[in-house]
Amino acid sequence: MPAASLRALLERSIDYAGLFPPASLDLEPALRNHAEYVRHADTWMLGSFILPIAKFDAASAHLSQFDDKHRLRVSALAAKAENAAAFRSAVQAAAASIREFSARHGGVATIAQLEMPLPAEANAPVFAEAHSDLRELKLAAFWETPSDATESTITSLAKHHSTSGNHTFGYKLRTGGVTADAFPDTAEIARALVAAAKHRVPIKFTAGLHHPLRKFDATVNTKMHGFLNVLGAGVLAAEHVWDDSETIRMLEDEDAGSFSFDDTTFAWREWQITTDRIKARRKFVISFGSCSFDEPREDLRALNLL
């Protein structure tokens, strides 16, 4: 059994994105993999299946492998809209597709969240309209922007939360890709984590977090960020009110010996957080998308953490 603190940090943390690079699987094998994962002993780590809304109809033909005890939990991925006017229409179309899919397949599938890029001119009215269009669906929505808009967007989301009473909106941070230039530096990630912790805005991550610890990867010719670094820094930054510099230190740590887990505490170097506090902080540090569910677990086993 994994240590309770590790389980708290990684519970439902891996959103399976097998449709996306570098795996780039077809829909049927990706869903077949997910159907195996929901029945696996490690399913406690499994979050949602990242499914583009454009593939909802195609997915309908492959849902017989799920049932009420082994459900398909979906994160619906909507396409980017070019401007605020198109964004409103795109959100409304996404909501309609989600309602239809849920009505048809609610016995075996749940759409838990929506992920969507924001238009460049996103502002308070844009968030208010999205809230109105999505309210009845009762799902979380994570909005993605280019990295130079991260802090301002998180601040805007916090203002929306305080004025509307709606706390279902979060921020989606891109942490990698298939080329070196897709990977943000540690300072960019740190600013996002510190801002999200300060404003209590949920944050999730996408791409590049295949490995537990930061390491150089020859296939992309750069250092990939580690999911223990990122999730761990997320909960510790919130718990101890870290600034950017301390957060960067953790994000850049490649030494497995710096990380320790037992049933009561997770520690990184001299910093600690209890298992109960991890669970509380994970309400705001949500998950990361990975095109593999196997590789992260294999690496954890290599570190003797599973």
Q: Where are the domains of the chain?
A: 12-216+287-299
> How far apart are alpha carbons 2 and 13 in whole angstroms?
15
Classify 85 as helix, strand or coil: helix
The closest of 19, 13, 45, 41 to 32, measured between CA atoms, is: 19
At 274, the amino acid letter reads T
pLDDT tens digits, the chain, 306 residues: what are they?
899 999 999 999 999 999 999 999 999 999 999 999 999 999 999 999 999 999 999 999 999 999 999 999 999 999 999 888 899 999 999 999 999 999 999 999 999 999 999 998 778 889 999 999 999 999 999 999 998 999 999 999 999 999 998 889 999 999 999 999 999 999 999 999 999 999 999 999 999 999 999 999 999 999 999 999 999 999 999 999 999 999 999 999 999 999 999 999 999 999 999 999 999 999 999 999 999 999 999 999 999 999
For residue 123, the model assigns a pLDDT of 81
Give the per-residue pLDDT at 121. 76
Do residues 78 and 94 touch, judged by C-beta distance below 8 A? Answer: yes
* Contact by Cβ (8 Å): 217, 172: no
Provide CATH code, domain 12-216+287-299.
3.20.20.60
Tokens coding 189: 């990630």
Calpha distance 268→234 (Å, rounded)? 12
